[in-house]
Structures are given as structure tokens and as C-alpha cells.
Amino acid sequence: QKEVEQDPGPLSVPEGAIVSLNCTYSNSAFQYFMWYRQYSRKGPELLMYTYSSGNKEDGRFTAQVDKSSKYISLFIRDSQPSDSATYLCAMSGDGWGKLQFGAGTQVVVTP
């Protein structure tokens, strides 16, 4: 069983809709929770991060962490075609680079 589970999609939504992404995990030692965005044939880039539990908002993006349920979410409001990418959740117990990644969810936003 993988430590981090993520539905690979694809997830297709119309422009302007809310995109909802989530991951579950099994390791209770995870403290750093991140969402990376990866465009086709590019490297991942950090989108949002949260330390421990709680919510974080940055523009159209909201990240939520529920450590009691071992569940993290990313919401994208007013989605745009430029948001079409693969979104990877990642987490770590002891730092920002030694990460456990989910499989990634491919998101397609159609005009």
C-alpha cells in the first residue's frame, strides 16, 4: 500500500468551475504538506504548502490539511484553461526535499 494515495484522473471541468483535488496518507509523522503543479514535459513547481493542520489561501487557491483524518485538499476557484496541468500532492516528516508524492491528478479545464 502506498503511503500517499491520489486519484490520477483525468479530471475535466469547464472554465470558471471549482476544481477539487485531494490526497489521503497513512504516515502520521508527516508534518509538511505541499501541492506541486507540473505542466507537460516540465519539472514540478511548488504551488502551496502547509505546515501541520489548517487552511491556507493564496489567490484562487486554497489548501486544507486534516491530520486527524489524514486527508489533504486543494481547491482552485474560477478555474482557467492555464490551470490545465498535473497536480501532485507531496508530504514529508522532516524537511522540504525528502518528499513522498502522490501519483498526481491530471486536470483539464475546457474553455
Using CA atoms, how far apart are residues 12 and 51, in angstroms rounded to an integer? 29
> What would the x/- binding string for other proteins be over residues 26 to 55, using CB under 8 A?
---------------xxxxxx--x------
Closer by beta carbon to other proteins, 43 or else 111: 43
Return the residue of 14, 59, 97, 111 that touches other proteins, per CB under 8 A.
97
Closer by beta carbon to other proteins, 42 or else 77: 42
Counting other chains too, the contacts that 82-86 makes at CB distance below 8 Å and 24 or more residues apart are 82/109, 83/19, 83/107, 83/109, 84/108, 84/109, 85/37, 85/38, 85/39, 85/40, 86/37, 86/38, 86/39, 86/40
Q: Of 13-21, 63-71, 73-81, 91-99, which segment contacts other proteins by CB under 8 A?
A: 91-99
In whole angstroms, the minimum distance from the beta carbon of 45 to other proteins comes to 7
Phi, psi dihedral angles at 82 (to 5 degrees)? -70, -10
Binding site for other proteins (CB under 8 A): 4, 6, 8, 41-46, 49, 88, 90, 95-99, 101-104
